[in-house]
Structures are given as C-alpha cells and as structure tokens.
Amino acid sequence: MPTDSHRTMSQNMMLGINVPLMLLLMTSLQTSWACYCPHGPKSSKEHWCNSNIVISGTVLTKKTEQEGHGTIPYPPIMKYAIRIDEVFKGRAERHRTLVFNTLTDSNHCGLTVLKPKRKYLLAAWDYGGGDIWISYCDWHEKRRKIRARDLAALKYGYQCYNTGKK
C-alpha cells in the first residue's frame, strides 16, 4: 500500500511531466493565434536587404477586398493606396500612387495599423505588375520617427553581403 511519501513523489513526477507539456501547448497555441516574426526586430540595414522596395509615402486610402477564384474564396486583402514621396530602393517613382497589399488578419501578420493621411517609411516586396506585398514583419514606421542617421544611410543604400547588391 502506498504511503503518503509515495503519493507525493508520484504527484511531483506528474507535475514535472505536465509543466513542460503545458508550456509546449501554450507556445503552440500562441503561435497559431498571433503573428510571429521569426527574426525578431531588425535593423534598418536588415529591412533594406530583405526587401526590394523601400519608400517613404503617404497613405491615401485603406480598403478591404474579398477576392476569389471561382467558388474558392481567398482570404480578404487590405489594399493601401500610397502616394510615393521618396524612393530609397526599387522601381517606384515619386508622386506616383502604388497599392500595397496585406492580409486583413493581424494574427497572420497582416499590416492593419497604417492610417490614411499619415506618412510612413515602408519596406516591402514588389512582385511585378503592381503586385506589392507588405506584412507586419516588414519595416513600417511613421516617417517622423525615423532617425536622421537611418535616413542618411537610406539615401545612399546599404551593402547587402548575402547578395552582393545594393
């Protein structure tokens, strides 16, 4: 017959197994419910090197569109019309308006925080044909909050050692 000390020992063993299991379960639930940027906060150089368009622009409009292909609906997409004020990298032209696409769900890293009539510095991916995508993990910062040192560096570009390109 087990004694009280045996029960305590077995309870402690169960607790020792359950704590790591609970932590694992909580971590997997968090990653399925929230956006996760795998490389954490990036420097301005990392954002530059990991995008092919970097601009300063003003958000003109923000709208959500539901797209689909036949009977298969795609997730809703948010489209930002952005007037380009300054081009640091990429093929964009000043004073032209481009549409930046993102998912509408911030849990899946959709960039839903940009507000019309505000100026931002944005780094994104231009896939050609006007198909520009940006996510919460990409560089998006109010233009007035960009440090002078970073702005100066953006004007000249960064040397990206992984590609050898500016």
User: What per-residue confidence (pLDDT) applies to 101?
Assistant: 92
Is 21 domain-assigned? Answer: no
Tens digit of pLDDT for each residue in 26-45?
A: 444 444 457 888 776 678 88
How much is the pTM? Answer: 0.70
Q: Which residue has the higher pLDDT, 116 or 66?
A: 116
Domain that holds residue 90: 44-156
Q: Is residue 85 part of a domain?
A: yes
Total structural domains in the chain?
Answer: 1
Q: Give per-residue pLDDT as tens, 136-146.
A: 888 888 888 88
Q: Is residue 145 part of a domain?
A: yes
Q: Is residue 95 part of a domain?
A: yes
Contact call for residues 103 and 78 (beta carbons, < 8 A): yes
In a domain, 103, yes or no: yes
Given this model, what pLDDT does residue 24 score? 44
Whether 34 is in a domain gets the answer: no
133 within domain boundaries: yes
Q: Is the pLDDT of residue 122 over 80?
A: yes
DSSP-derived secondary structure for the chain: ---HHHHHHHHHHHHHHHHHHHHHHHHHHHHHHS---TT-S--HHHHHHT-SEEEEEEEEEEEEE--EETTEEPPPEEEEEEEEEEEEESS--TT-EEEEEEES-GGGT------TT-EEEEEEEE-STT-EE--TTS-EEEGGGS-HHHHHHHHH---BTTTTB-
CATH code, domain carrying 92 = 2.40.50.120
Instruction: Say if 139 falls within a structural domain.
Output: yes
